Structure 1
């Protein structure tokens, strides 16, 4: 789909829902108001080109993450045939921001990261026959695990902690 594609009311609504965003979040991302977003979705106003472009870019970024992650998992399982994984997801924006500053330019909201994790979970089940469990990061439990194991903060160690939660 072209990034310049015009979206109608139904398309913008379902794109927003598929990304797991509220109307207020779309307004923030598109530099508009929540009332404008709701007007677009009700068909009372033309959808902002900036909003459509931004949401389509986010959806494309998520789809690329799904593709790349699933490809990586497939390669991993050629060497180590596990059938169950866990992914950390983030219960609040503050926790997401603290632990994932590298994603803020591509996926600025925790909902977008968690949507990507959900899509990866579904793709892994359907295509790779791998079960993925989404584990909400419990900061205190994670810190205790790191202290007990003598580990530093890293994405890999968050993944190891998540595996202990299965």
Structure 2
């Protein structure tokens, strides 16, 4: 009698959808084919354990980002109460790669970073009663903002720019 403790077909599909990824994107990050992903999601075959672990690891990374970010926001608000924030999201993989090289190994696709931002937005609204707006990065407008304000490239500069977009 086999006791499989892995993800079943519907769990695989729900996990992919919770990331906001297409079948092709999951195939890409798991180094497999779209046919294999479709087979896992239809229940024809079981996803290999390393694939399941990789997808669950990505989900854990996103959840840790949500936890760490909301904890940081909560601490910040103890000192400086605010009720509106803006987070930068990235419209393409190339723009994401340019501004976030440190996250490429943990979150290899723009959509995964944007999923984390979406989850942070929802958590901030529910738990902290803070409105978070997701602002797509306009690289040219951001560069002009930095030049006008004498800012260097940093996550903080992107946050300041995003706040001006509200």
TM-score range, shorter chain: over 0.9
Q: Contact 1:26–1:51 at 8 Å: present in 2 too?
A: no
User: TM-score, normalized by length of structure 2?
Assistant: 0.96
Alignment of 1:12-161 (within 5 A): 12-161=12-161
**Alpha-carbon RMSD:** 1.1
Distance across 1 between alignment mates of 2:29 and 2:20: 13
Q: Distance in 2 between matches of 1:153 and 1:29?
A: 28
Structure 1 residue 5 displacement after superposition:
4.5
Q: Which deviates more from structure 2 when the two are superposed, residues 91-100 or residues 17-26?
A: 17-26
Calculate the TM-score normalised by the size of structure 1. 0.96
Q: 2:11 aligned with 1:11, yes or no?
A: yes
- Report the Cα offset of residue 30 of structure 1: 1.3
Distance 2:107 2:5 in 1: 21
Runs of 5+ unmatched residues, structure 2: none
Structure 1: segments with no counterpart, 5+ residues: none
SS at match of 2:45: coil
> Distance between the aligned counterparts of 2:11 and 2:115, measured in 1?
18
Q: State how far apart, in whole Å, the 1-side matches of 2:91 and 2:151 are.
A: 23
Runs of 4+ in 1 over 6 A off after TM superposition: none
